[in-house]
Amino acid sequence: MEGFDAHGLVQRRFSKTTALSARYSFMQFFFQGAFGLSTIHSGMGGIQQQMGRRWKLDLNGGIFHTEVAGIQQIALDPVIASLIGQSTAVQAFYKANNFPAAAGSLRGTYKTSEISFNYTDSILPGNGFYLTSRSEAAYTSYSFTGIHKWNLALNGGYYKLNGIGTLEQTQWTAMAGAGFTYGISRSFHLTGRYDARDTNLTFANYKHTASRVTIGIAFSPGDVPLSLW
């Protein structure tokens, strides 16, 4: 896949704590080795609000207009199939749709910890199995640096992909993880993580659960324990 995008944003601050914004974007994806392209226009409006000293809210909403062209396999009429000796054929298609667009985050920052909640509903070029797709994702993360030389972190969420081209089915993935960094010296840190993921393909009755453990060394000079999440 190859593609490009162009986007613009204007923001007006009404006070030290409140700002409004409007954005427009244009995206186009080309699929190499196959006939087809996708064109996406989106418009969104948003508000950014500082709530006290520690919490910040960012909400955005709008609409995506998608135009998808490609090829798909279809079943032939039995009479035609008997005449030409095959039961399926390939035909070109064009689909135009409108979808809601949304993005939001709530972030709290304290002296030794940070917590965030995030949500997005957007359009993506795909993941190699799906082509142009509608993506919905929500996740939360928490990071704590209140113990000498240590940073501890937790995160979790879900990711849902719906094809809007040839494969109009759903992939659902739930994720959770935990990690740490430990300051070996001023500049070097030991890092470790455990992550688990559960994936479901609704149309294929496919379910797969996987996990992994990672350990490494990171270089980051500073007085505060390294925070990676």
pTM surpassing 0.95? Answer: no
Tens digit of each residue's pLDDT (9 = 90 or more) over 17-42: 999 999 999 999 887 776 778 899 99
User: Which domains are delineated in the chain?
Assistant: 2-219 (2.40.160.50)
Mapping DSSP onto H, E and C, the string for the chain reads: CEEEEEEEEEEEECCCCEEEEEEEEEEEEECCCCCCEEEEEEEEEEEEEEECCCEEEEEEEEEEEEEEEEEEEEECCHHHHHHHCCCEEEEEEEEEEEEEEEEEEEEEECCCEEEEEEEEEEEECCCCCCCCEEEEEEEEEEEEEEECCEEEEEEEEEEEEEECCCCCCEEEEEEEEEEEEEECCCCEEEEEEEEEEEEEECCCCEEEEEEEEEEEEEECCCCCCCCCC
Tokens of 95: 């689909």
Q: Has residue 78 got a pLDDT over 70?
A: yes
Residue 229's pLDDT band, with cuts at 50, 70 and 90, is low
pLDDT at site 68 = 86
